[in-house]
Chains A and B, each alone.
Chain A
Amino acid sequence: MSVKVLTANRLTDGEAVWLGANGDWLDQIDGALVARHAEAAAALEEAGKAAIKSNLVIDVNVIDVEERGEHLYPVRLRERIRQLGPTVRLDLGKQADKPAANAA
């Protein structure tokens, strides 16, 4: 079943980040605050609006993810590529720091 998390890009360097359960913006999707019902998703939307004002991040979006064991798996390929890095340069992006499954 798909649930939702909040993602954005960090203001200073544009890197993809996800809102963590403790309110910090995380470099990796695992550990992101998961919204499992409509009210929680609405709270994420509100958090997104507040985040833009907080000036730490830009381009804030709620995205669909699946919970696969301990990991979160974005539903859209676009978000999987944001999560890992370019599929044609495995030496770049987050995948370079932390090897993970191929985005495709």
Chain B
Amino acid sequence: MYRYDEFDHAFVSARVEQFKDQVERRLAGELTEDQFRPLRLMNGVYLQLHAYMLRVAIPYGTLSARQMRKLAHIARTYDRGYGHFTTRQNLQYNWPALKDMPKVLDELAEVEMHALQTSGNCIRNVTADHFAGAAADEVADPRPYAEILRQWSSMHPEFSYLPRKFKIAVTGAERDRAAIQVHDIGLHLKRNEAGEIGFAVYVGGGQGRTPMVAKKIRDFLPVEDLLTYTTAIMRVYNLNGRRDNKYKARIKILVHETGTEELTRQVETEWLALKNSDLKLPQTDVDAIDSYFRPPHLPLRPEGWSALAGARKADHAFAAWVDQNVTPHKNPDYGVVTISLKPIGGIPGDATDAQMDLVADIAEQFSQDEIRVSHEQNLILPHVAIADLRIVYDLLLTDGLATANAGLITDIIACPGLDYCALATARSIPVAQRISERFADPARQADIGELKLKISGCINACGHHHVGHIGILGVEKKGEELYQISLGGSGDEVCTIGDITGRGFSSEEIVDAIETIVDRYLEVRTDKEETFLAAYRRLGAAPFKDALYSEAANAA
């Protein structure tokens, strides 16, 4: 994993000291809220419904056990004993007091963490495939490049006051687990015919009130040009992105209004001037960063396979967990374990301090001291020997962390919604909980198969509803919560924005409506191999709309 150098330490410490002073001046009345608000936001401090919220950056979702223990300690000491893992691979604390913020940031800095650029119109925390460095299907580890982008974008003077926030995601496999096509810039790490590493570059994706799939503006960008080309994109956006209307200020609108061809021309023109500048990455620099992400030494553990076969046979629940939550590792004696933070009826993404400590202990002992946060609000143990799966499972079971539902209908993404969020217009979590309870039966979930259900409590779409196979958007209508359904969205390599089905459903109706859609899918699929998304793409919305609205009409 990347370790801070002297520069990083000095930089973060200086920022903590600066913010400490700003908090003191605010509490003493020397700064007004209008003056202080942009300063606190630059340090990840929001105001929500019940309290302040602190959003901690977890660069490309990678954590060590020591860092996870610190997150647990902060939850226990300064918050209410839990934290919320988000769709941006970050962690949010829901209850910290303003006066404690400098102490919390001090504690974070002790383990090379911070809350910088988790808010504001800057380049936000760079996200990456949560299976990076471990997945069997990976071409190259995206994290060194995410780290290069992090270093380059941290406090970048030119890009600290962009027209709007800016999100970059990097994936290193054909299978896109980082949803790169719904980011402002998406980078797909790949090899060209000569076997060299480079990036396909996507620009202008995003969700929110105007969802758009990113456009590919370059099929292959050599690694050495990562920063020159990204800078060219940023310059075109910074200069031409709209500042007159907050809702039209993201780069997706600029791409849409300019046209992909013209925008690409502008970027390429800008790039010509930058291509051979100081930003051109020397291979030695890439190698230096890359060395922090070298694959861990994984001893051969072939004995695991026979042990696994026996353990599977003896315990169906364990077998189901292995089937659902363990994915292939580069090393055949190892697996990538998804720790579901979606217990049946639970709050998606929430973890208690004790759970965080437990995950840290397990990671230290059984996963090379590495933990990942997925944008699907789960935790990942990237390097677990097949031989250790049983003991890891047993340990996870002790604190409710062994739910075997990764990728199934109860593995729901949900934003905090109106239970916490000042921007929300409806609640998300209770809807997720009720759907999870409705589909709790493991056999039923397994029969339904892969189905990504995502819920947002407002149009800003933090719950990624636009790319849910089934998406739910909560709004407020005439003082009541109303839930709009969209179908057929997908955030993977075949990225699509879901289609809205029609009129929305009340809080009382929404779970039945979801069940109606799922039941219709089970009726119309060709066989069990045809997933919900595949069936929707084959049939379109008609059979689902028919089920939803004719049944509703019948009931009325």
Q: Residues of A at under 8 Å CB distance from B?
A: 9, 11-16, 52, 55, 58-59, 75-78, 81-82, 85-89, 92-93, 104
Contact = CB atoms under 8 A, between A and B. Distances in A.
22 contacts: A11-B27, A12-B99, A13-B52, A14-B51, A16-B49, A16-B50, A58-B33, A58-B47, A77-B476, A77-B481, A78-B418, A81-B418, A85-B50, A86-B419, A86-B429, A87-B419, A88-B347, A88-B429, A88-B430, A92-B50, A92-B95, A93-B50
Contacts of A59: 47, 422
Contact of B27 (A12, A15, A81): A12
B347 A14 contact: no
A85 B418 CA distance: 10
Contacts of A12: 27, 97-99
A45 B47 CA distance: 21
A37 B495 CA distance: 54
Contact of B51 (A15, A77, A81, A104): A15
Contact of A13 (B29, B51, B80, B429): B51
B97 A76 contact: no
B420 interface: yes
Contacts of B98: 11-14
A76 B479 contact: yes
A89 B51 CA distance: 14
B48 interface: yes
- Closest 8 pairs (CB-CB, A-B): A86-B419, A13-B97, A14-B51, A14-B52, A55-B29, A88-B429, A58-B33, A82-B49
Nearest to B347: A88
Given A13-B98, A78-B418, A86-B429, 12 more contacts: A12-B27, A12-B99, A13-B51, A14-B52, A14-B97, A52-B32, A58-B33, A77-B481, A78-B49, A86-B419, A87-B419, A88-B433
Contacts of A104: 430, 507
Contacts of B48: 14
Contact of A9 (B27, B47, B99): B47
A92 B81 CA distance: 11
B418 A77 contact: yes
Contacts of B80: 92
Interface in B414-463: 418-420, 422, 424, 427, 429-430, 433
Nearest to B46: A14
A76 B478 CA distance: 10
Interface of B: 26-27, 29, 32-33, 47-52, 80, 95, 97-99, 347, 418-420, 422, 424, 427, 429-430, 433, 476, 479, 481, 507
A26 to B, nearest CB: 15
Nearest to B80: A92
A15 B53 CA distance: 11
B50 A82 contact: yes
A15 B347 contact: no
A81 B99 CA distance: 24
Contact of A52 (B26, B33, B430): B33
B203 to A, nearest CB: 36
A88 B419 contact: yes
A27 to B, nearest CB: 12
B429 A77 contact: no
Contacts of B99: 12-13
Given A52-B33, A55-B29, A58-B47, A77 B479 contact: yes
Nearest to A76: B479
Q: Which of B97, B419, B429, B479 has the most CB of A within 10 A?
A: B419
A2 to B, nearest CB: 11
Contacts of A55: 29, 32
A59 B476 CA distance: 21
The residue in B27, B49, B50, B419 that gathers the most chain A C-beta atoms within 10 A of its C-beta is: B50
Q: Interface centre among B98, B99, B476, by most A CB within 10 Å?
A: B98
Contacts of A78: 49, 418, 424, 476
A1 to B, nearest CB: 16
A102 to B, nearest CB: 11
Nearest to B29: A55
A86 B51 contact: no
B49 A81 contact: yes
A93 B420 CA distance: 11
B393 to A, nearest CB: 28
B524 to A, nearest CB: 34
A39 to B, nearest CB: 26
A14 B422 CA distance: 12
B54 to A, nearest CB: 11
Contacts of A16: 49-50
A14 B47 contact: yes
Contacts of B95: 92
A87 B33 contact: no
B538 to A, nearest CB: 37
Contacts of A86: 50, 419-420, 429
A81 B429 CA distance: 13
A15 to B, nearest CB: 6
B519 to A, nearest CB: 27
